[in-house]
Amino acid sequence: MAAGSTPPSPSSAGVTGGAAGGWSDRFEQGLHPAIERFHASFGFDITLLQEDLDGSVAHARMLGRCGVITEPEADRLIEGLELIRREAAAGEFQPTIEAEDVHFAVERRLIELLGPLGKKLHTGRSRNDQVGTDLRLWLRRRIDEIEPALLRFERALLAQAEAHADTLIPGYTHLQRAQPICLAHHLLAYIEMAERDRARLADVRRRVDICPLGAAALAGTPVPIDRRQTAESLGFASLYANSLDAGSDRDFAVEFMAAASLVLVHLSRLSEEVILWASEEFGFVSLTDRCATGSSLMPQKKNPDVPELVRGKSGRVFGHLMGLLTMIKGLPLAYNKDFQEDKEALFDGVRTCLDCLEAMAILFEEGLEFRPERLERAVESDFSNATDVADYLVARGVPFREAYQLVGGLVKGCLKEGILLRDLPLERWQQLHAAFEADIHAAIAPRQVVRARRSEGGTGFEQVRQQLDLARRRLGEGSPLTS
Ligand code: ARG
């Protein structure tokens, strides 16, 4: 401040009371209004309010215990912070854009409430370690919400799988009929994917659960703080070993978004299947009125909006992953303002993930019904038992490739005649190969074809029952991945 100039009045002063409003006395002019708007993160980082208050309460308590401030001062700071929490709950905490971000907004209000004592809160920390702490606390909570959302979705799949342990569905590769499978087996495949998602999130959580507080701006602080105390009172499992890394690590955000992207990949693939299944052409499921919408023009239509939206929304999460990677890749150590861009990505990524999981859970709980009669007809009316004819010959000593060629020729002939394998009389089979006997018809009936796939992890009914048992145990209360 120039010698002789009057200090700014407390009301016009920013957090630190500098001449230009928000900054130290080094600044003489205020921000250009457009730059002020450009700069401000308050519009979105108010999402972090609870975590910012939690972090500040822990910091104030630690400052008191370490003798940096007195214990009564710490108590008053904490009372002030809790008052702000109550004001926010009552809708009475409404900072303006000049606050810049949630951290300054809270500090500014604290100074309004407590006067000069409020100015002691920021001792021994910087907004850089503060925002990193808030973000990790926030994301840890959200992961703890996504986990049960995944479980609910998996349980909805499991309930359908259990109801259809005996229902068959055509299995596809290249979207061409391949072999009949058990419908429960198909649904259990998505439970496997979701179980990997849960495991991945639990793993990501371990790297979210590291405390950067006390790294200060970048290099630590001469203030005699106790980082372990704040980390512990905020429930972090450990703390960053290097202050530069602490202030500039956003790997956890990338890891989360990658894990969330895979959740959305899985939901999107399942959505695509439901959309196909609900079509007239497949007709494997009908949509109930709970999750389907009509057309404004065509009265006969029932549209699968829920899976379509999930499939569509997956793109946003992949976009956030790419955005985060690109935002981070060129940054020198340590904090750079670019990091402010991590928030909207994380907020939207978490929201999208939770919304899509909930919508898909509801879709499988009450939004669709499988149509066993249509499924039955589908598996009865194709050549998806052709492999089993070859396997029949293999079991009777014919080399697989030879059997494969024979059956290929047989299918060609049937296609020409417009008949199915099951329509061939025994003489025709025996003309093809002497190894065929009267049991060939039973061996290629779809239910037998499925039953015969007894290899571990296969679609045989017995194997699927075992997989259902396993899934039931994994998805039971207090599932091991959460502990
Ligand atoms: N709003 C900022 C963010 O989201 C807080 C940290 C600002 N730190 C700084 N040195 N400008 O990253």
Q: How far is the CA of 96 from the centre of ligand 1 (A)?
A: 17
Please list every protein residue whose CB sits less than 6 Å from any atom of ligand 1: 41, 45, 101, 127-128, 131, 335, 337, 339-340, 343
Question: Are 288 and 187 found together in one domain?
Answer: yes
CATH number for the domain including 56?
A: 1.10.275.10
From 9, 174, 455, 483, active-site residue: 174
Q: What is the pLDDT of residue 451?
A: 96
Q: How far is the CA of 101 from the centre of ligand 1 (A)?
A: 8
* pLDDT, average across residues 128-135: 98
* pLDDT, average across residues 297-311: 90
295 is catalytic: yes
pLDDT band at 30; cut points 50, 70, 90:
confident
Domain interval for residue 268 = 127-165+179-375
- Residue 359 is assigned to a structural domain of this protein: yes
| Residue whose CA is at the smallest distance from ligand 1 atom 10 | 128
* pLDDT, average across residues 407-435: 94
Q: How far is the CA of 10 from the centre of ligand 1 (A)?
A: 24
Question: Are 153 and 80 found together in one domain?
Answer: no
Question: Are 134 and 269 found together in one domain?
Answer: yes
- Residue 173 is assigned to a structural domain of this protein: no
- Residue 5 is assigned to a structural domain of this protein: no
CATH number for the domain including 326?
A: 1.20.200.10
CATH number for the domain including 415?
A: 1.10.40.30
335 CA: nearest ligand 1 atom: 10
- Tell me: the pLDDT tens digits for 76-116? 999 999 999 999 999 999 998 889 999 999 999 999 999 99
Q: What's the pTM?
A: 0.92
Question: Are 54 and 151 found together in one domain?
Answer: no
Question: Are 110 and 161 found together in one domain?
Answer: no
Question: Are 105 and 152 found together in one domain?
Answer: no
- Residue 480 is assigned to a structural domain of this protein: no
Question: Are 441 and 300 found together in one domain?
Answer: no
Q: What is the pLDDT of residue 445?
A: 95
Q: How far is the CA of 56 from the centre of ligand 1 (A)?
A: 16
When divided into structural domains, the chain yields a total of 3
Higher pLDDT, 399 or 24: 399
- Residue 132 is assigned to a structural domain of this protein: yes
41 CA: nearest ligand 1 atom: 1
- Residue 4 is assigned to a structural domain of this protein: no
Question: Are 146 and 246 found together in one domain?
Answer: yes
Q: Between 127-163 and 102-114, two packed helices, what is the crossing angle to 10 degrees?
A: 120
268 is catalytic: no
Question: Are 94 and 239 found together in one domain?
Answer: no
217 CA: nearest ligand 1 atom: 10
- Residue 172 is assigned to a structural domain of this protein: no
| Residue whose CA is at the smallest distance from ligand 1 atom 11 | 337
Question: Are 87 and 131 found together in one domain?
Answer: no
Question: Are 368 and 395 found together in one domain?
Answer: no
20 has a pLDDT exceeding 70: no
* pLDDT, average across residues 169-183: 97
| Residue whose CA is at the smallest distance from ligand 1 atom 12 | 340
- Residue 220 is assigned to a structural domain of this protein: yes
188 has a pLDDT exceeding 60: yes
| Residue whose CA is at the smallest distance from ligand 1 atom 2 | 340
Q: How far is the CA of 132 from the centre of ligand 1 (A)?
A: 9
Question: Are 346 and 306 found together in one domain?
Answer: yes
